[in-house]
A and B are shown apart, each in its own frame.
Chain A
Amino acid sequence: MTQACLTPALRVAGLSKHFGTLEVLRDIAFDVAPGEIVALLGASGCGKSTLLDLIAGLQSPGKGEITLAGEPAAEFHRHSRLGYLFQEDRLLPWRTVQDNVALGLEPDALPRQERRRRANAALKAVGLSDFGDAWPHALSGGMRSRAALARTLVIGPDLLLMDEPFSKLDPQTRTQMHEELMRIQSGSGNTILFVTHDVEEAVVLADRVVLLKPRPGRIREIVPIDLPRPRAPTNPDVTETTRRLRLKVQQ
C-alpha cells in the first residue's frame, strides 16, 4: 500500500524532444500521483500535445525518461493501455455508438457478451444508455463527446490523457462535460493528465497546473490549486484563482 502511494502514476524526468533541428521540448520534469488530476497549461507552440503523445507512446521517444506506475514507458505500453481522449471525438461513423465504445476492448480476448456488457456499463456512466444502437451522425456534439469519453473509460485506464478534450464544444455543454468527468473521476479515482490552453478549465478540473512556456516548451512553474470541489466556474474563489493564474500565464 505504502509502496503504491510512493510510486507516482507518471514520472517525467529530463525529457527533451527535437523534430529535426526544431527543439520542441526542453528538460521537462514532473510527477503525477495516483488519483491526481494535473493540467498542462500553455499557449500553442509550447509542445503540450507532443508531450502527451510521447507519454502515450504515439511519438518516437525523445531524450529523458518517462515512467508509468514505476515502469519505463515502453515496457508499460506492452501490457497496459492508457485512456487517450482526443480533441475530436473520433467516433468511427460505420459503427454504432455501442460498437464504438467497445472498440478499445477488442485487443483483449473477451467474449462478445462481456464486451457488450462493459460497453453498456460505460455508456450508462456517461448517461447514454438509450443511444447504444444509434449511429454517431445522429448524435449531438455533446453526446458524441460523451460517447468518446465512454470509449476511453471502458478499458479501465490507469492513466487518462486528454488533449484539449472539450475545446470544440459550446461553453455550456463543456461545463456539463466537466461536471460529468469530475463525477466519474471521484467515483473511480482515475489519474488524469490533460492539456489545455483554457485557464478556467485548468482551475476547475486540476489539482495541480503545470505552466509551460513556448519555443522550446519548458516548465515555467507548477501551481497547486487548493480549492474545494465541486468547483463551479461561477464560484468567486474559482474566478479569483483563474484571474491570478491568467496573470502568470501572460507574464
Chain B
Amino acid sequence: MTRTTLTNPAPVRRAGLPAWTGLVLTRVLLALAFLALWVFAASRMPTFVLPGPAKVWNALVALTQTPSFLHDVGMTTYRVAAGFLLATLVGTPLGLALGSSRALAQVFEPLLAVMNTVSSAIWAVFAIIWFGISNATTIFVVFMTAMPLILTNVWQGARNVDKQWIDLARSLRFSRARILFRIHLPSILPYFFSGARLAFGFGWRVSLVAETLGSSDGIGYRLRQAADLVQTDQVFAWTLLLVALMLALEGGILKPLERHLFRWKPL
C-alpha cells in the first residue's frame, strides 16, 4: 500500500473518498472556524455591538414568528423581481437593437456610461423625490441598476453572433424572424445569463438601500428599524436570512438552470 502511494498516487486518491467529500469537509471546517471566531469576538464585546451566534439565532427564530415577517420578505422579493423583470424587458430589446446597428450604438453609448456611473444611492434619492414612499421607489432603483447590466451584456452578445451561422441560416432560406430566434437568441443566451445573474445580485443589494430610505415595509425597512432601535441581534438575523436566501436562490434555481441551459457546452 505504502509502495503504491509512493510510486503512483493517482489511483489511491481515486480509491479513497469521492472528490466532493473533500470539498464538503473544507466548507464545514470553514464554517466552524468562522463560528468559533464569532463566538470568541462576541464574548469580548458588548451585545449591542456584536451579538453572539446563539443570540442571533434566537432573534432569527423570533423574527420568523412575527406577523409581518412573510409580508416583509414577500414585498422585497416582489420589488426586486418587478425591477429585474422590467430591466430584462427593456434591456434585452435595446441590447439587440444596439448590437444590430453600429450607428445606434454610437449615439447611445455615452448614455450607457452615464447610467453605469451614477450610484444606486443617487437613484434612490431621485426615486424618493419622484415616487415618494412607495413600491415604485424600490422598483425604480432596482431597474436603474439592473437594466444597464443586462443591456451591456446582451449588446456584447449580439455583436458576437457568428456571421457564418447567419449565412448558414440564410442559405436555408430562413426568414429574418426565424434567424433572430434560431441563431441570435441562442448565441446571446450565455451573455444574457451572466448579465442577468449580475443584475439580480446587484438588484437585491440596492433594493435594501432603497427600502431603508423610501418604504414602510420590506427587509430593508426592518433592517433600518432594528438599527435605529439598537436591536443589533435583529440586524444580524436579517443579514443571515438574506445570505441564506441568496445561497438558496443560487443553488436551488440559478445553478440548475445554468446547467440545463448550457448542457451543450464542453466541460
Contacts and interface: CB of A to CB of B under 8 A. Distances in A.
Interface string A158-170: 0000000000000
B264 A94 contact: yes
Interface string B243-267: 0000000000000000000011110
Contacts of A136: 264
Given A137-B264, A137-B265, A137-B266, A92 B186 contact: yes
Interface string B59-103: 000000000000000000000000000000000000000000000
Contacts of B183: 92
B172 A58 contact: no
B265 A84 contact: no
A160 to B, nearest CB: 12
B170 A106 contact: no
Given A92-B165, A106-B174, A106-B182, 5 more contacts: A81-B173, A84-B172, A94-B189, A106-B172, A137-B264
A95 B175 CA distance: 19
B171 A58 contact: yes
In terms of DSSP, what is the predominant structure of the interface of chain A?
loop
Contacts of A84: 168, 171-172
A-B complex: 6 closest residue pairs judged by Cβ atoms: A84-B171, A137-B266, A94-B264, A90-B168, A135-B264, A104-B172
Interface in B168-225: 168, 170-175, 178, 182-183, 186, 189
A77 interface: yes
Interface in A93-145: 93-96, 103-104, 106-107, 135-138
Contacts of A95: 264
A88 B265 contact: no
Given A107-B178, A137-B266, A58 B173 contact: no
Contact of A82 (B168, B171, B189): B171
B266 A107 contact: no
Contacts, number: 50
Range class of the B interface residue count: 10 to 19
Interface residues of A, number: 23
A41 interface: no
B186 A94 contact: yes
B109 interface: no
A95 B265 CA distance: 10
A155 interface: yes
11 contacts: A84-B168, A86-B164, A93-B265, A94-B264, A96-B264, A103-B172, A107-B173, A136-B264, A137-B264, A137-B265, A138-B266
A40 interface: no
